[in-house]
Chains A and B, each alone.
Chain A
């Protein structure tokens, strides 16, 4: 069995998403445990405020994982990512208020590459502010 989106069905300009993901403090604690990253900046308001932030911040790698999820979900193949790169340019504060933060994740196909691969530019925003810079992925299609 093969999985995956057909390369020939995709054009430069094809849009992925949007994927909207709520992120609560519980999600940060769950990610901390799953990833083994116990930097208190990501669960303690006290630590975050000492560092000058309003509340605990989402792990950059959680944000990156959610962006990757948009791409693999779109492609239909959980192993489709050949290359994924981001810069963590803005923090994502996650207040402990029962609501948390909301990430809006979009992608756009920017190039069709050899080997039935495409390049995707990723746009991840929290409160309409981009939180990742130079975010892109190379995706294997079928």
Chain B
């Protein structure tokens, strides 16, 4: 891990906008077998009170993963993709993601510690629209490195 890596409390600024399409929601829903018509049919979604088709609950991780992969493998963290293991995930929506959403992710570093020779990083990926509306919080835990990796000061 990089010597001056971010610590608890660090905030990575909002990412570029990810625009959610009906086609992506449908593709994702099919990939996880979520068969509610609200994932594919705008009229069915409207009948349930949604402005457009809605995504399954774990869809936001797609958006957050793009952000967290870039940040963790970038110069600030220096964690190679291959050494990262995703060990826990929590998703707390304010509302479902829906088609037409223009989403950005702000990553908050919640904690960084060493456990059994590995780095354990907890982050909160706060997903919001480009208008500032909060959509969902995703809490992720990753571990990286190993006992054979020379550590820098912790």
**Contact A34:B39 (CB < 8 A) given known A61-B61, A65-B58, A83-B91:** no
Q: Does A110 contact B (CB under 8 A)?
A: no
A40 to B41, CA, bound (A): 33
> Are A82 and B48 in contact (CB-based, < 8 A)?
no
Query: Closest CB-CB distance, B31 to chain A, in whole Å?
Result: 4
**Inter-chain contact A79/B31, CB cutoff 8 Å:** no
A15-53 with Cβ < 8 A to chain B: 21, 27, 30-31, 33-37, 39
Q: How far is the CA of A66 from the CA of B57 in the complex (A)?
A: 10
A72 surroundings in chain B (CB, below 8 A) = 34, 36, 56-57
B 120-154 contacts with A by CB, 8 A = 139, 141
- Pick from A2, A33, A35 the residue with the most CB of B within 10 Å: A35
Q: A62 contacts the other chain (Cβ, under 8 Å)?
A: yes
Q: Which residue of A lies closest to B47 (CB)?
A: A1
- Chain B nearest Cβ from A70, distance in angstroms: 10
- Where chain B touches its partner, the secondary structure class is mixed
Q: Main SS of the interface on chain A? A: mixed
Contact of A65 among B34, B54, B88 (CB under 8 A): B34
Give 1 or 0 for each of A76-114: 1 = CB within 8 Å of chain B CB.
011101111111100000000000000000000000000
- Is B96 at the interface (CB under 8 A from chain A)? yes
In whole angstroms, how far apart are the Cα atoms of A62 and B86 in the complex? 12
Q: Is A64 an interface residue (CB 8 A)?
A: yes
Residues from chain A with a CB closer than 8 A to the CB of B96 are 78-79
Q: With an 8 A cutoff between CB atoms, is A56 at the interface?
A: no
11 contacts between A and B (CB under 8 A): A2-B49, A30-B30, A34-B27, A60-B86, A64-B89, A72-B56, A78-B39, A79-B48, A86-B89, A87-B87, A87-B88
Kindly list 19 other residue pairs between chains A and B, CB separation below 8 angstroms, not including A65-B58, A78-B56. A2-B49, A3-B48, A34-B28, A35-B28, A35-B62, A36-B66, A60-B89, A61-B86, A61-B89, A62-B32, A64-B89, A66-B32, A68-B32, A72-B56, A77-B48, A78-B34, A79-B38, A82-B93, A134-B88
